[in-house]
Amino acid sequence: MPLFLNVRDINYLDKIKYPKRNVTFLEEATFLFIYFNDTKIPNQGWKIHISSLLKCAVNILQIVFDYCLKNKINFKFIKNEKLLLKNLSVNTDPFSFGKFITIYSESEENFKIHINWFYNKLKNFRGVNINSSRAFFDSTNIFYRYGTNYKKTRFLLGPNNQKIRDRKKLEYFLPEFINEPFPDNKSIFNFEKTILNYRFLILYLVQRTTISTVFFGQDINSKKFIILKASPLYAITAENITLTYFRRNEMKLLLDLTKNNFENSQQYVDSFVSQNNFYICKSFVNGKDLKFILDSINLVDKKYFNKESQTKYRENFKKAFNCVYNFHKKNIILNDVSAKNFVCDKLRCYFVDLETSYVYNSKIQKIWEKISLSSAKFPIKSSHFLVDILKLSSIFIESLIGSIQSLKNEFEIRWLFLSLYNFILFYNWPLWLLTDIFEVFRKQGFINKNNNSNLLKKIFDQPKTLTFKNIIEKIRNIYKIYSVKKPLKFSNFKFEFLYKIINNLQISTNLINKLLNYEKRFKFKNLKNFTTANLIFWGHWFFLKTKLFENFSNNFYYKKIIEYIFEKRVENVDGKLIVRDKKQYSPYIWNGSLGLCYLILKSKYKKYNKQIGLLEKSLIRTTSTKINFFHGISGFIHYFGQKKSAKIYYKQILRWIIFILNFWDDEKGFFIDNIFPYSHKNFILVNSLIIETINEFIKNKDFINFFSRGDLKIPSYNTKIYNSILEISKIFA
């Protein structure tokens, strides 16, 4: 099978012969259905699935078409070659993978007749394995399963009308009221306790995706635990390449590393083909993956970021980079550097996914360079060794500051490291969180080749300090650039409405009419269908309507929304209340804790005063690389700055102001925000709202007097640190 598959632009119906009459077609996005009025499709029953490689799809379809036409059997097939390729690839739904043709049987008796006929007629063709169905004896392209026959029908009905969920597992499933139609069929469908290749006992399934399955097992000869990775032969992955090519690449690398007793990889044990799957067997590493380790360390809360957790972080940092360093000494580029691909025990870290790794300047590297295997997040033209280091550095940095969308150029990489430094100053974290990363770049010869770690540590001893006067001057200088001389223009009317509500600004009749019309598109009976952001937005709208139109029903919806958010979207984490939007916690005005606080405080809804205090408690030490008004830290300044008890928050507000000012780029003249980059259409508005919020707050004379009395020294960027960060970023120019 060729490495790269060429896909033709053909429709399969145009390539087969069939009578034009007495055939009813129904076309969907992927499938073409063929129906016969004399034959009914039951709600549930036995189905035959036929898989095919691209090269034999037309021949298989012709045989199936002729037989089904002759016997008036309803069936469907993927209608063109592009869609079939997608069906054979990582880009398809796991439950649909490999199903080129589906044949519906009216009865079990007919099903048995049909499948035996197809087995004899199609045995000379090859297909891919279908995980959700069972192979018919030794066939590589004919499978079967019992299930529902219509998309909208999710449950099977038992003899006593009991409901049984269909499609609940990516494996062959028989409901308890159905017997196996072929008791003599020895094809494997449930791997647990199965012995593969007469040697490997499968203990349990670890992970299954569309085209990859990972098992934990035991070598019955050596009694050692092992990991088995399985993939269907002929399955397709990135850029139309067969998945087994990646698996075999991993096998070759592991073989060589195992022969050389390499310590930072799993050991090669075996590889084989069984039941149309390619397997590679590797030694088991008894450890935890790096993502689990980093997620378990809480650096923000001083209560948890103690010496023990600092040691845990630093030790795993050194083990992970030592792992990469040892691979690089072998001239191997890891490529797929992600936190889950490093498994660490007490002694070292292991890189456990070598599928897309390669020896530098090898033939495989040239193939990899032709295709888009590298993440679009990172530089393409930089040294491959250097990008490995950057990827691992970003894993550790992002575990501290949150995810960064793009690190493709010198400017974005510089701000990655400056962001970490900013967080170190804000939280008073140890400086080795930064110096250790510098040491990694030095060790591999990218910077400070004549330097050593002791000298680096001396450079980072004392950060530069600013006075309160310096801070005020900087705010006023930035304000001159982005001061709002004309009314703010919002591209999104929801942003405009929320901003004006929060700031007690007049809302135009035009905007009110737009919102009245917008409301007509929604029903508010089932609030679970709304995101938290939308619930906060509608809560403000219904409260405004109560005041505008004196309509009690609007106040009902307002209170209903607040009660629903507290019941379903607010969670207690370590005694602090946090708002969840979809699957993530959010502290922000647009979709999180601050938004809920504003929603309640605007109406002085006293029922939730205690909860407001707990929400504020979760926010007071929070910071983020997101600094804009709606999704970031400037919203925090606005909220706590307008409180009657604002004085108790002055020190914290100043810390947030300094934090935001550290994200100002003097050279380019704008704030660096993780959500709204300078290419964003709302870029100017975002910058204006940030500096407007800060500038408005420093008009508070009490705030100015509070800090003007003493000789306040504020930690800021150390020049030597800044220059060292520039040195790293310039490597990627």
Averaged pLDDT, 627-645 = 93
State whether 327 and 433 are in the same domain. yes
Residues 71 and 462: their CA atoms lie apart, in Å, by: 85
CB atoms within 10 A of CB 386: 17
Show the domain range for 573: 492-619
Q: Would you say residue 109 has pLDDT above 90?
A: yes
Mean pLDDT over all residues of the chain? 89
pLDDT at 244: 86
Residue with tokens 């995706």: 209
Nearest C-alpha neighbor of 284 from the set 273, 268, 272, 271: 268
Output the domain CATH number for residue 32.
3.30.2430.10
Q: What's the pLDDT at 460?
A: 47
In the sheet where 225-232 sits, what is the strand order? 195-196, 200-208, 213-219, 225-232, 277-283, 268-274
d(CA 290, CA 648): 39
SS3 632: coil
Beta-sheet pairing, 570-573 with 464-466: unpaired
Is residue 333 within 8 Å of residue 360, measured between CB atoms?
yes
103 shares a domain with 212: no
Residue 294 shares a structural domain with residue 277: no
Write 15-23 long-range contacts (CB < 8 A, 24+): 15/58, 15/61, 16/58, 16/61, 16/62, 16/65, 17/62, 18/65, 18/66, 18/69, 19/69, 23/69
Q: Residue 126: what pLDDT?
A: 94
Share of the chain above pLDDT 70, in %: 93
Residue 120 resides in a domain:
yes
Nearest Cα neighbor of 231 from 273, 189, 169, 202 is 273
Residues 451 and 503 both lie in one domain: no
Cβ-in-10-Å burial (0-12, 13-18, 19+) of 216 comes to middle
Q: Are 402 and 394 in contact (CB under 8 A)?
A: no
CB contact at 8 A, 387 and 328: no
Our CA angle for 505, 599, 653, nearest 5°, is 75
pLDDT band at 678 (very low <50, low <70, confident <90, very high): low
What's the structural domain count of the chain?
Answer: 4
Q: Is the dihedral of CA 512, 518, 523, 529 positive or negative?
A: negative
> Are 279 and 294 found together in one domain?
no
Answer whether residue 624 is part of any domain: no
Between CA 671 and CA 92 the distance in angstroms is 40
Residue 475, token pair as written in the block: 């705010």
Residue 530 covered by a domain: yes
Same domain, 250 and 344: no
End-of-domain residue from the set 227, 249, 283:
283
Of 252, 283, 314, the residue at which a domain comes to its end is 283
Q: Are 149 and 47 in contact (CB under 8 A)?
A: yes
Average pLDDT, integer, range 675-696: 80
- The pTM (predicted TM-score) of the whole model is 0.86
Element (H, E) at 270: strand 268-274
Nearest residue to 592 (alpha-carbon basis) of 711, 454, 718, 498: 498
- Is the same domain home to 502 and 592? yes
Q: Is residue 393 part of a domain?
A: yes
Q: Looking at per-residue confidence, does 549 or 335 come out higher? A: 335
| Alpha helices for 356-489 (secondary structure H) | 363-370, 384-401, 410-427, 432-443, 453-459, 468-482
The verdict on residue 51 lying in a domain is yes
- pLDDT tens, position by position, 604-620: 777 888 889 889 988 98
Band of the pLDDT at 455, cuts 50, 70, 90? very low
Half-sphere exposure of 658 toward its Cβ, with a 13 Å CA cutoff? 25
Confidence of residue 24 (pLDDT cuts 50, 70, 90): confident
3-state secondary structure 154-174: CEEECCCCCEEECCCCCCCCC
Q: Are residues 403 and 343 in the same domain?
A: yes
In this structure, what CATH number is given to the domain that contains residue 213? 3.30.200.20
Within a domain: 692: no
Question: So what's the pLDDT on residue 444?
Answer: 84
Q: Please, which pLDDT band fits residue 215 given cuts at 50, 70 and 90?
A: very high
Digit-coded pLDDT (tens) for 332-372: 999 999 999 999 999 999 999 999 999 999 888 877 776 65
Q: pLDDT tier at 485 (50, 70, 90 boundaries)?
A: low
Look at residue 121 and tell me whether its pLDDT is greater than 70: yes
The residue ranking higher by pLDDT, 150 or 146, is 146
Tell me if 143 sits within 8 A of 130, measured CB to CB.
yes
Please check whether residues 293 and 253 belong to one and the same domain. no
Q: For position 418, which CATH number holds?
A: 1.10.510.10
Check residue 125 and report its DSSP letter: S
pLDDT single digits (tens) 257-315: 999 999 999 999 999 999 999 999 999 999 999 999 999 887 666 555 678 888 999 99
Give helix then strand counts, H and E, for the chain: 23, 27
Q: Do 316 and 433 have their domain in common?
A: yes
Which stretch of 138-142, 212-216, 239-243, 357-361 has the lowest confidence by average pLDDT? 239-243
| Rounded Cα–Cα distance for residues 481 and 671 (Å) | 12
The C-alpha atoms of residue 142 and residue 134 are separated, in whole angstroms, by 8
Q: Determine the average pLDDT of the residues in 48-77.
A: 96
Q: Give phi and psi for 208, each to the nearest 5.
A: -140, 130
Give the model's confidence band at 106: pLDDT under 50 very low, under 70 low, under 90 confident, else very high: very high
**Residue 244: in which H helix or E strand, if any?**
helix 243-259
pLDDT average, residue stretch 387-414: 93
Q: Of the ranges 78-87, 476-485, 632-641, which one carries the lowest mean pLDDT score?
A: 476-485
Residue 50 lies in a domain: yes
For 423-450, write each residue's pLDDT tens digit: 999 988 888 999 899 999 988 888 865 5
Which residue's entry shows tokens 């004896």? 137
In this model, does residue 207 exceed pLDDT 50? yes
Residues 202 and 273 in one domain: yes
- pLDDT tens digit string along 220-273? 999 999 999 999 999 988 667 888 888 999 999 999 999 999 999 999 999 999
Query: Would you place residue 516 in the very low, low, confident or very high pLDDT band (cuts 50, 70, 90)?
Result: very high
> Residues 621, 622, 625, 630: what is their CA dihedral angle, to the nearest 10 degrees?
-130
Do 225 and 278 sit in the same domain of this protein? yes
Q: Which residue has the tokens 């087969």?
A: 16
At 728 the pLDDT is 92
Residue 548 within any structural domain of the chain: yes
Q: What does the pLDDT look like over 704-733, one tens digit per residue?
A: 998 876 667 787 788 888 888 989 999 998
